[in-house]
Structure 1
Amino acid sequence: MSATDTLLSAVPQSPSAGIKTMARFGFAAIGIVYILMGVLALLAATGLGGGARPDREEAVQRLQDLPAGNIMLGLIAFGLLGYIVWRFTQAIRDTEDKGTGLKGVGTRLWYIASGLLYAGLALYAGRLALNGRTERGADTSQTLTAKVLGWPGGDWLIIILGVVIIGVAIFQVYRAYSGKFQKDVNASGLSANQEQLVYRAGQVGFTARGLVLAILGYFFVQAGQQSRASAVGGTGEAFDFLAEMGPVVLGTVAAGLVAYGLFMLVQARYPVLRGI
């Protein structure tokens, strides 16, 4: 082995400790948010929710009522920021080796979009941690939709966006039953029974998440067809939509989101973070 080869072999090939830590904080933060959101939806399904709306902001706000709630909110905000950093790292440094082809670039752009989806929630959690109770901001998705609808052909752009989101939802369900999500968890530290439980939680969780995303995509399609930005909704509106189908449907999806949150916590504990 040459001196150059020896030097290269000494260079760490895994993600830096800092980015790895931020990624794990991110998985944990998302897991906690989904568990809280699922629990709120379960309470709503059983009539015990006290009128609380089971959406992401409400889930984060509930942390403030717990002991050391502001500290927890700060950690959630930091964790969500860590997830955004990790997603950007995946996209920019191509840690998954997706390449520069059309499919690869599309996947890497999705990593960025996936990270940015949590930017607003991270900001909201940070404001709560620093300032206490705060008013919810305007619905960003509705505001942006209204602007796009004002463009020439804007209604078609919104419809296309809705179709893309529905496509992502279908992919989530595909991931659930293809078992591809298993590669995101290092199962070497799990027993066979634990690995099976994690696998089932992932299946149920990704399916439930896919259903919620499909509803959000449907909202965008409706907004484009009707040229009406108010037709766009977030997770709260998606749960309202499910509640109209009955408490059993809402409760089933809510339980699935709790399962997804648990899967994310396991991923935080046993992550597979490919090299950068």
Structure 2
Amino acid sequence: MSAASTLLSAVPNSPSSGIKTMARLGFAAIGVVYLLMGVLALLAVTGLGDGARADKKEAMKHLQDLPAGNVLLGLIAFGLLGYIIWRFTQAIRDTESKGHDAKGIIRRLSYAGSGLFYSGLALYAGRLALYSRADKGGNTSQSLTAKVLGWPGGDWLIIVVGLVVIGIAIYQVYRAYSGKFQKDVNASRLPASQQNIVYRTGQVGFTARGVVMGIIGYFLVQAGQQSRAGAVGDTGEAFDFLAAMGPAVLGTVAAGLVAYGIHMLVQAKYPVLRGI
């Protein structure tokens, strides 16, 4: 087979196969980001982090410092774009068969919301890749919260958003211990011993992610109750909150995020993509 034929065979030959490829790239990109976040937090526990904060943007900056860092950032940005496309595909085409009733619509909107959540990070990674810098706009979450607090009833809206985030965090932990996360990974292609490792890694990872999201939701509730945008915090502030509880707590959650990153990389290799 010629080199040209080999290249052509690797190119998706249908919209569905293209979406599947983008989804897998998205899972891999998220896996790398969470893996780096967890490693940064573990370095902070050991005192080797040089003051680096364990959040998504800090992870992007560390990628930039690697050889061919801008290329890696470009791949991460492209991968995150793939994840966004996949999430909107789930929402629009109802790939999970959630239906058109109120509950189904809410679930489908949550898929789109998940995609939007990563759009800012995709833009940030893209800017770093292209310009070796990103706009210094301060804390975007705090700026947005300050605007919402200025609306009539804005404080209550922020509280509701915080409670929703806490609800999602609880659902992450529920997914971990109910085993529901397994349906997204085709672990049958792995030996039995490795299947158990993947399962346990997923449990630990989803639990840690739920803990971090729960803290971020708590920050939002506090911001609404105090009508103070400065109370809002992102992943970095969540890790600061955990660090105040002691290095053992921070180290445990950090290791959990490493586990989540590894699980997402496994999902990228062995995904279950329904409805396309």
TM-score range, shorter chain: over 0.9
Distance 2:151 2:53 in 1: 33
**CA contact 1:172–1:206 (8 Å) conserved in 2:** yes
Q: Does 1:45 align with 2:45?
A: yes
TM-score by length of 2: 0.93
Q: What is the aligned partner in structure 1 of residue 131 from structure 2?
A: 131
Q: CA deviation at 1:135?
A: 4.5
Q: CA deviation at 1:15?
A: 7.1
Distance 1:129 1:265 in 2: 22
Q: What is the aligned partner in structure 2 of residue 267 from structure 1?
A: 267
Distance 1:199 1:191 in 2: 12
> What are the Cα deviations for residues 13-66 of structure 1, in whole angstroms up to 9, with x where unaligned?
x97111000000000000000000000000001111111111100001101111
* SS, match of residue 152 in structure 1: coil
Q: What is the aligned partner in structure 1 of residue 80 from structure 2?
A: 80
**CA contact 2:77–2:123 (8 Å) conserved in 1:** yes
> What are the Cα deviations for residues 187-220 of structure 1, in whole angstroms up to 9, with x where unaligned?
1210101110000000000000000000000000
Distance 1:213 1:134 in 2: 25
Q: What is the aligned partner in structure 2 of residue 9 from structure 1?
A: none
Q: What is the aligned partner in structure 1 of residue 54 from structure 2?
A: 54
Give the counterpart letter for 2:160 in structure 1: I
Q: What is the aligned partner in structure 2 of residue 25 from structure 1?
A: 25
Identity of aligned residues (%): 77
RMSD of aligned residue pairs (Cα, Å)? 1.1
Q: What is the aligned partner in structure 1 of residue 167 from structure 2?
A: 167
* SS, match of residue 62 in structure 1: helix
Q: What is the aligned partner in structure 2 of residue 121 from structure 1?
A: 121
Give the counterpart letter for 2:208 in structure 1: A
Equivalences, count: 263
Q: What is the aligned partner in structure 2 of residue 98 from structure 1?
A: 98
Q: What is the aligned partner in structure 2 of residue 146 from structure 1?
A: 146
* SS, match of residue 54 in structure 2: coil
Gaps of 5+ in 1: 1-13
**CA contact 1:25–1:80 (8 Å) conserved in 2:** yes
**CA contact 1:89–1:95 (8 Å) conserved in 2:** yes
> What are the Cα deviations for residues 160-180 of structure 1, in whole angstroms up to 9, with x where unaligned?
110010000000000000000
Q: What is the aligned partner in structure 2 of residue 213 from structure 1?
A: 213
Distance 2:134 2:107 in 1: 35
Distance 2:143 2:162 in 1: 16
Distance 2:255 2:99 in 1: 37
Q: CA deviation at 1:137?
A: 2.9
